[in-house]
Chains A and B, each alone.
Chain A
C-alpha cells in the first residue's frame, strides 16, 4: 500500500483505518506488507506510532512489514530517532520484494 501526504495527529487515524483495511484483505499465503512512503513529506510521532502498530500486528501474524522508498525528510526523522534499527527499510519496491 501507498501513503500520500502528511501523516500527523489529524490524519494518522485515517491512515490507521486504511492499514487495518489492508490487513483484512491479506491473503493466507502473503509474506509481507509493503508500505510505500515516497509521497509522505512529513510524519509526526503519531504517524510513526501508526507504523509501529502495523509492525506489531504483522509480527503477530508472522508477516514482515517493510517500509519502502522513504522521502528524504521522513528518512531524516527515522535516522534521528534510530527507527531504522526497528523497521525494515528498503530503497525500492523491487528490493523490498526480493528475498521474500
Chain B
C-alpha cells in the first residue's frame, strides 16, 4: 500500500527536524568564528541538499555585506571579491528588508546580478536567501543555491533553512562577542607591557644637589599615557631636567619614549646646551619617524651654584617660575616645534636666574586636563592660583598642587598621565 502524499511529506519533515536538532548542536559547539561560519555553510549544503552556499556578514563600519565563506565548486574564487551595499542585489535586499526570499528561477528576478555567474562560469538557478537576525538586528544573510536534484527550492526548504539560520545567527554572534573579548584582553596585556616598559625608565628617586630640592609626582592613567621625565646628572654642578609627552599610547609610545630618553642622556653631555641638544634629538627622532609619532618636551639645565637656568621648549606647556615673593613667571621665550616631526628645526634657549626660595614647576597636559565627575577640566586658573599661593619649598609646592588636583577630581579615573616636577633652591 502506498502512503498518502501528506504522510510522506510529514515523514520528510520529521526527518529534517531531527537533522536540525542535531545541526544546532554542531553549529553551537565552537566559539571560533571562522570554524562556525564554515560549519554553517557545510551543514546548510548537506541539510538543504544544495550545490552551493554563501554567508555574508554586515560590516558595521561600512554597512556593507561582506562575503565570509563560499563553498561549492567556485567558492574559492568568489571568496575574495564580494562586497554588497544594502539593497543591492538579492542578498543586499534581504539584508535591508529582513525577510527571507525563496526564488525558483533567479534569472527571472529583477535584482539578480549575473556578473558573478559570467565571471565564474557557474549557473545559478534556484536559491533561498535568509537574513541572520539577533533580536531585531540583522547581522548578515545566508544563501543556499541550486538543489542537487535540479528541482527548485520549495516552501518546506524555506522553513527548514529559516530555522537553521536562526541558530546560526546566534552562534555567529556569540563567536563574534568571544572574539572581541579576546581582542580586548590582548589589548589589556599590551597596555600592561607598555606600562612596565614606560615605568622602567622613569627615575626611581629625584636627585640630590647641594642647596636644591627636586621632586617628582607621576600618576599613570588607567590606560597608559605617554608622559615621561628624567633627571640627568651633569658635570660642573649642573643637573638636566626633562619632561615630555609622546603622542599616542601603548607599546609604540613607550618605545619612542625609550629612544628619546636614552638619546637625550647622551646629547646632554655632548652638546653645548639644551637648545643644541634638542636640535640633534629632533633630527634623530624625525629620521626614524613612524606613523607620525612625535613628542612635546622641555629640557632645562640648572647650575646649582649660580642658580642659572637654561630652558628649551619643543611645543610643550611652558615652565612656571614661582618667585619667593609669590609672583609667577611663565617661560615662553624659547618655544620650537615638537620633536620628531621635521628635521632641521632650531631650538632657542631662555635663561633666567633662580634665587633662594624660587621654584620651577614643570607639568604635562594631564594636570590641566584632569577631569572631575562633572566632566569639568581642572584648568589653568586653578593650577596657577595654587602655584602662586603654595608653600615656598619645591616639595611642599608639589604636594599642594597634587592635593589641589586630587581634591578637584575626587575618584574620577583619569584619561591621561599626570606628571608634575618641582625644583628650586631651598629657602
Contact = CB atoms under 8 A, between A and B. Distances in A.
Contacts of A80: 315, 317
A49 B317 contact: no
B294 interface: yes
A83 B294 CA distance: 11
A51 B213 CA distance: 40
B335 A48 contact: no
Given A9-B249, A54-B292, A81-B315, A45 B226 contact: yes
Nearest to A44: B247
* 3 A-B pairs closest in CB distance: A53-B292, A52-B292, A45-B247
Interface stretch (B111-119, B148-156, B337-345, B399-407): B337-345
Of B246, B291, B316, B341, chain A has the most CB atoms within 10 Å of the CB of B341
Given A45-B226, A80-B317, A85 B292 contact: no
Interface in B234-256: 245-249
A37 B267 CA distance: 37
14 contacts: A45-B247, A45-B294, A48-B294, A49-B248, A50-B292, A51-B292, A52-B292, A53-B291, A53-B292, A82-B338, A83-B315, A83-B337, A83-B338, A86-B341
B interface: dominant SS: loop
Given A56-B289, A81-B337, 5 more contacts: A45-B248, A46-B247, A46-B249, A83-B337, A85-B337
B146 interface: no
B192 to A, nearest CB: 18
B351 interface: no
A49 B336 contact: no
A4 to B, nearest CB: 16
Interface of B: 226, 245-249, 289, 291-294, 296, 314-317, 335-338, 341-342, 345
A interface: dominant SS: helix
Contacts of B315: 80-83
Contacts of B294: 45, 48-49, 52
B293 A49 contact: yes
Nearest to B315: A81
B247 A49 contact: yes
B342 A86 contact: yes
Contacts of A83: 315, 337-338, 341
A53 B292 CA distance: 4
A48 B336 contact: no
